[in-house]
Structure 1
Amino acid sequence: MSEKTGILIVEDDEEIAEFLQIGLSAEGYQVSVTHNGHNLLERVARDSPALLILDRMLPDDDGVDLCKQLRGAGLDTMVLMLTAKDTMDDKIDGLRAGADDYLTKPFGFGELLARLEALLRRTSHAGDAQSINIDDLRIDLSIKAAFRAEMPLSLTATEFSLLRFLAENADMVMSREEILKAVWGYDFDPTTNVVEVYISYLRKKVDSRHETKLIANVRGFGYVLRSPKEA
């Protein structure tokens, strides 16, 4: 892991923040800490951390609201949200706000590290300049951007990873387990509906304004991105 990989921790609990800073620094990350969400957008825009570890419940800020503000400002920094709230609705709220993953307190450092590494793997390989073209959908792998009928799609990093995975396996039905492993990098709670949530996001952004629908649900099996001959 590059020692220059930057992580910003936003955590009001000083013991947790110090624990994470020491542990992640020992793993070779460049770690900075803030205990509140004041001027978070400006700081992320200025420092461009690779990943943000964001506490959901801050003294004067709501992590969900902060995450929405980040995405609304066009900042696609990976976000791992920490929270003491562990209901499924709480997790869905965090993911819908734009978080890329959600970890419930208390947690082990090993689990956090594994999830963090999985998130960073999504952005670590830019590859050669190339694109995937399916009907009027174009995915530019060199700049990590997607276009439909040459109009840019506003995708989060997770949405882009999901779309790329489906496109790389066009016309093949991918199970939710295969999608979880490929996009999130580890096994989620089997009861989670994170795949369904993000498929819904993609459908709205990729298909809602077009007559040809590319992303389909194959009931009982999974999801598929169909090429023109199959669409």
Structure 2
Amino acid sequence: MKNINPTQTAAWQALQKHFDEMKDVTIADLFAKDGDRFSKFSATFGDQMLVDYSKNRITEETLAKLQDLAKECDLAGAIKSMFSGEKINRTENRAVLHVALRNRSNTPILVDGKDVMPEVNAVLEKMKTFSEAIISGEWKGYTGKAITDVVNIGIGGSDLGPYMVTEALRPYKNHLNMHFVSNVDGTHIAEVLKKVNPETTLFLVASKTFTTQETMTNAH
């Protein structure tokens, strides 16, 4: 993957100039000038999801300049590198494999010449089996009682990811109560612990490396 600083590109300079031209334009102005603005700057996916970005200070020229920036930074090449398993995480020198977790087509994703999908599918199946055991009450707490509460301990994506899913799927909530602890301030976990029964609570420690100070402090 190419290492391109977007701020040093010609496209970025063009966007900066465009920003200066647009900064005093209001959303009301944009709608007044274009009666078809909503249809131009929105998209529907499968008649189930609407993405409306018409209420942003953008025009067709803005989108064109953003596309120029993507081309100049070789965004398409970066996407290809990510999906091919190239080690694009330069900080940790490893592949970025969340794409493998969402690869329901089961297309092979190679890392160092090895397809990681069999391992991914095996772990996802374990997660499904464990989750079903918790929900059904088959998996018990330490005194033999079924789980009623789940406390997720994490920070950053390990907190916001599960929280987002929980909020998005709230209409389908079952009997389990979800709690999230991310703040290293002891008050956060203390308040959560007041709400739960240790006999029927499952604690999940979510971390990629298990070296994050806030997460490990709360876990211990």
TM-score, scaled to structure 1: 0.24
Q: Which has the larger radius of gyration?
A: 2
Structure with more strand by fraction: 1
TM-score, scaled to structure 2: 0.25
